Chains A and B, each alone.
Chain A
Amino acid sequence: MHLYDVPMVFVLVGLVLYVVLGGADFGAAVWQLHREDRVRDFAHDSMAPVWEANHVWLIFVLTVMWTSYPTAFGSIASTLSAALLLAGFGIIVRGAAYALRAGVETPRQARRIDAMSAVSSVLAPFFLGAAVGGIASGRVPVGNAAGNLFTSWFNPTGIVIGLIAVASSAYLAAVFLAADAVRTANDDLVPHFRTRALAAGAVAGVLAVVGLVVLHGDAPRLYHGLVSGDGLPALIVSVVAGLATLALVLRERFDAARVTSALAVAAVIAGWTLAQRPLILPGLTIRAAAAPHDTLVAVIVAVLAGGAILFPSLGLLFRLVLGGRLGYGGGVAAEAPRHAAAAALAHGLLARVAAALLVAGFGLLTVAEAGVAHAFGVVALLAFVVVGFLAAVPLE
């Protein structure tokens, strides 16, 4: 592996995590199309604390992509603009549904919002999958919108990958929700989501087989890369992991099923990459598309350093969610320490300090010329706001 490959590994890892985690979020919205309010509320409540973090993986993929492989990113985004914009609308509605649901007061309002969110959550993964199909079938040439606005993604490969994305989102969500139902002792919902997981898993499996047939005719290069080239081991892993997931769901081992389903997704994406390596787009190798050396180093440093902060935090979030520490009501609601009314702050002193900081800030930022003075001036002014706030803040 070369330096110029490393950010691509980050992109692919981000894509796998987005498909698994963001996909589960879209899928949960689909399962919210249900008569019973309890089922819909359950699906909503399980995702609400984590959905934002799950969607940030898409931003991660985009930013690493455009920094590390800018030419490829510009070509992909401009040719696939219609699919991406439609997917974007789906994401808007899905996110807006979370915001709106905070304000509902009647079940009817919640039902309407859920219906809207379910429709958009079918469309978003479909269009994102179709966009991937456009890239995988070699219909995105290098250039500014050089490919066809519609047929670049609305073609057999794009459609089938879009459908697989929808089915696997529903599947991942059902596995996740079944596991959550076990965890929260909603025993009657376990078989509910188990049945749906099996059904969606079966559909995804059938679509995957159909997909191979479609690729054979529509994207022969990718097909041969998958069944006889470098992608074959990954294809086998994905089939085995997919079947294992179904078996685990059948036996209600949902936590293990989450891992194998993620593995299946990772294997599919790895297989696609291996099958089309070293090309990123027709005629454009990863090496040629890669940003200059310093940028690649900077991205790698930023991602590793960011990851060192991110993963423990993400671990904390999921640990709290899975430990039942997030959510409304119940639990170990904290007893607030009842201090006597706080001693009055030393208002006079603080106010004088604030005034001094304001004068210093004015002098350093506005009167003085040197850049260093400006820096201190800004700090003094911001400190003025903080100290002034503490001095003036009310105990009404």
Chain B
Amino acid sequence: MLAVLPPVQQDYLLEARQMQALSFAVHIPLVCFGIAFPAMVLFAEWMYHRTGEDTYRTIARRWTRIMVALFAVGVITGTILSFEMGLLWPNFTATFGSVFGLGFAIEGFSFFMEAIFIGIYVYGWDRLSPRAHMLSGIPIVLTGFTGSWMVISVNGWMNHPEGFRLAGGRVVDVHPWSALFGNSYFWHELVHMYVAGYMVTGFVMAAAYAVARLRGRWTRYERTALAIPLTIAALASPVQVLVGDWAGRTVAQSQPVKLAAFEGLPRTQRGAPIHILGVYSDDEVKYGIKIPRLLSLLAFHDPNAVVKGLNIVPVRDRPPVNVVRFAFQTMVGIGTLLALLGVWFVVVRVRRRALPDTPWFFRAVALAGPLSLVALIAGWTVTEVGRQPWVVYRVMRTADAVTGASGIPFGYAALAAVYACVAVGVYWILRRLAKVPLDAVAH
């Protein structure tokens, strides 16, 4: 067996994986706000300095308070994730830390810069010059990118491991720079996630103001505060369709089993179809709507291309097909709807230079916020569960990475309880911040 630490018996591998999944699912939406929100806040502040319109100032200051509250929760949930690298997967870290750890070490610095400049930006509103204050926001935008770059370079490496050799269960010939950054695999993941960050933040923020519109609050403040995030999300969504397609083609080349699980393709075949909905059982997709040759067309841009099936590896090396497949269909389905909503918005905007005014549009936007979060988590389920049973693709099994410590179910239950409280707290504070009177914000 491949591992630096001696093998252990762990009866609660599934619980350990669920605990990790829970931690990711809580953290990832906050990451989106870390990636995209500072740019939106900064844009509103910039518009205020350009136009002198108080609406923009109010927006920027209200959003600053949301940004700092969500950043605080992101700091703690991110800290928990770094703990779990050792608490849950000590053998993964012990064996491969020297290969992938560099990405996290650099990410630590990125996170540091983000924390420093968030402190300056948030608490500098009243006492720094406008120029200094705007400048202090720029590093926050940049570190949102570098941070996700570093973390995803590690995830890309886990999916496409290189930059080392194995000898007697140990890694030798380690080249961390090329393993992480010379790796061709992480680019599509990074771009996909980065665009997702803008989509999620944009749609969630827009959804809040769409709800206000549906409840009859529709002043200049709400209109502007809806239009900024929605414009970004609406433009990012069609782009995400193209980026997702690129990601799918890269997966088809590097991780054929994962691609086969997306569709539930039991056997290698020429002109492979796609089934919409349905369930995978007994080596076939049942009750789905079959579209012939579409998988070959999407994966290789050729309706007659040969697509590898799940049968190229033994059953024990396959991911749980239905979980991956369901998550994939959820992501693609929601992503398509969001792209359509985005196109609707952009077309109306370009032709009429105004927001659409039917309530159906605002109902759709209100729904798009939560749906974008669902798509985000489904997307990570696709790539993470799709990589199973491997933690390092075709090198180390998740079962060989797990801790030998007892008590995982207790830790999992406790974390779930704590995160439930955190979720209630976040909900409470967002409600509170939304209720602060508009003219009180600037003071």
Residues in chain A within 8 A of chain B (CB atoms):
48-50, 52-53, 55-56, 58-60, 62-64, 66-71, 73-79, 81-82, 84-85, 88-89, 91-96, 98-100, 102-105, 142-146, 149, 291-292, 294-295, 298-299, 302-303, 306-307, 309-310, 313-314, 316-317, 320-321, 324-334, 336-339, 341-342, 351, 358, 361-362, 365-367, 371, 374-375, 377-378, 381-382, 384-385, 388-389, 392-396
**Closest chain A CB from B176 CB (angstroms):** 5
Q: Do A52 and B71 touch across chains, with their CB atoms under 8 A apart?
A: yes
Q: Do A70 and B95 touch across chains, with their CB atoms under 8 A apart?
A: yes
Q: Taking chain B's interface residues, is the majority helix, strand, or loop, or is none over half, making it mixed?
A: helix
Q: Do A317 and B112 touch across chains, with their CB atoms under 8 A apart?
A: no
Contacts A63-B105, A67-B102 known; list 13 others, CB within 8 Å: A96-B76, A100-B428, A102-B429, A295-B101, A328-B123, A332-B129, A336-B57, A338-B52, A342-B51, A365-B246, A388-B231, A392-B231, A396-B227
**Closest chain B CB from A288 CB (angstroms):** 11
Q: Residue B306 at the A interface, CB < 8 A?
A: no
> Can you name the residue of chain A whose Cβ is closest to the Cβ of B98?
A291
A–B Cβ pairs within 8 angstroms, 15 of them: A49-B123, A56-B75, A59-B79, A60-B109, A62-B86, A66-B85, A66-B86, A68-B101, A70-B97, A71-B4, A76-B86, A144-B6, A299-B101, A328-B125, A374-B187
Q: Do A99 and B130 touch across chains, with their CB atoms under 8 A apart?
A: no
Question: Which residues of B have CB within 8 Å of A50?
Answer: 119
Question: Which residues of B have CB within 8 Å of A377?
Answer: 246
> What CA separation (Å) do A382 and B51 show in the bound complex?
26
Q: State which of A75, A336, A366 has its C-beta within 8 Å of the C-beta of B49.
A: A336
> What CA separation (Å) do A161 and B126 show in the bound complex?
42
Q: State which of B65, B80, B407 has its C-beta within 8 Å of the C-beta of A102.
A: B65
Q: Do A78 and B405 touch across chains, with their CB atoms under 8 A apart?
A: yes
Q: Do A326 and B104 touch across chains, with their CB atoms under 8 A apart?
A: no
> What CA separation (Å) do A392 and B127 show in the bound complex?
33
Q: State which of A96, A299, A314, A381 has its C-beta within 8 Å of the C-beta of B72.
A: A96
> Can you name the residue of chain B whose Cβ is closest to the Cβ of A48?
B123
Contacts A313-B113, A342-B51; A95 near B72 (Cβ below 8 A) = yes
Contacts A74-B93, A96-B425, A144-B91; A384 near B76 (Cβ below 8 A) = no
Contacts A74-B94, A74-B97, A95-B76; A292 near B86 (Cβ below 8 A) = no
Contacts A70-B93, A73-B97, A375-B187; A310 near B109 (Cβ below 8 A) = yes
**Closest chain A CB from B434 CB (angstroms):** 10
> What CA separation (Å) do A82 and B405 show in the bound complex?
9
**Closest chain B CB from A362 CB (angstroms):** 6
Question: Which residues of B have CB within 8 Å of A102?
Answer: 65, 68-69, 429, 433
Q: Do A74 and B82 touch across chains, with their CB atoms under 8 A apart?
A: no
> What CA separation (Å) do A8 and B107 show in the bound complex?
19
Q: Residue B149 at the A interface, CB < 8 A?
A: no
Q: State which of B5, B8, B101, B443 has its C-beta within 8 Å of the C-beta of A63.
A: B101
Q: Do B90 and A144 touch across chains, with their CB atoms under 8 A apart?
A: yes
Q: State which of B122, B133, B246, B346 has its C-beta within 8 Å of the C-beta of A334.
A: B133
Question: Which residues of B have CB within 8 Å of A382?
Answer: 191, 195, 239
B215-260 residues with Cβ-Cβ distance < 8 A to A are 220, 223-224, 227-228, 231-232, 235-236, 238-239, 242-243, 245-246
Q: Residue B171 at the A interface, CB < 8 A?
A: yes
Q: Do B227 and A73 touch across chains, with their CB atoms under 8 A apart?
A: no
> What CA separation (Å) do A389 and B69 show in the bound complex?
26
Question: Which residues of A have CB within 8 Å of B171?
Answer: 292
Q: Do A103 and B105 touch across chains, with their CB atoms under 8 A apart?
A: no
Contacts A299-B105, A375-B187, A385-B198; A317 near B246 (Cβ below 8 A) = no
Contacts A78-B404, A310-B109, A332-B127; A71 near B242 (Cβ below 8 A) = no
Q: Do B96 and A70 touch across chains, with their CB atoms under 8 A apart?
A: yes
Q: Residue B87 at the A interface, CB < 8 A?
A: yes
Q: State which of A49, A103, A338, A371 has its C-beta within 8 Å of the C-beta of B69.
A: A103
Q: Do A337 and B49 touch across chains, with their CB atoms under 8 A apart?
A: yes
4 closest cross-chain pairs (CB), A and B: A77-B86, A67-B101, A74-B94, A70-B97
B123-173 residues with Cβ-Cβ distance < 8 A to A are 123-130, 133, 139, 171-173
Contacts A74-B90, A75-B5; A89 near B123 (Cβ below 8 A) = no
Q: Residue B274 at the A interface, CB < 8 A?
A: no
> Can you name the residue of chain B whose Cβ is closest to the Cβ of A328?
B126
Question: Which residues of A have CB within 8 Å of B333?
Answer: none
Q: Do A326 and B124 touch across chains, with their CB atoms under 8 A apart?
A: yes
**Closest chain A CB from B185 CB (angstroms):** 11
Q: Do A392 and B350 touch across chains, with their CB atoms under 8 A apart?
A: yes
Q: Do B102 and A88 touch across chains, with their CB atoms under 8 A apart?
A: no
Question: Which residues of B have CB within 8 Å of A88?
Answer: 79-80, 83
Q: Do B117 and A389 touch across chains, with their CB atoms under 8 A apart?
A: no
Q: Do B86 and A55 touch across chains, with their CB atoms under 8 A apart?
A: no
**Closest chain B CB from A342 CB (angstroms):** 5
Question: Which residues of A have CB within 8 Å of B349?
Answer: 392, 394
Q: Do A336 and B104 touch across chains, with their CB atoms under 8 A apart?
A: no
Q: Residue B99 at the A interface, CB < 8 A?
A: yes
> What CA separation (Å) do A49 and B128 show in the bound complex?
14
Q: Do A295 and B405 touch across chains, with their CB atoms under 8 A apart?
A: no
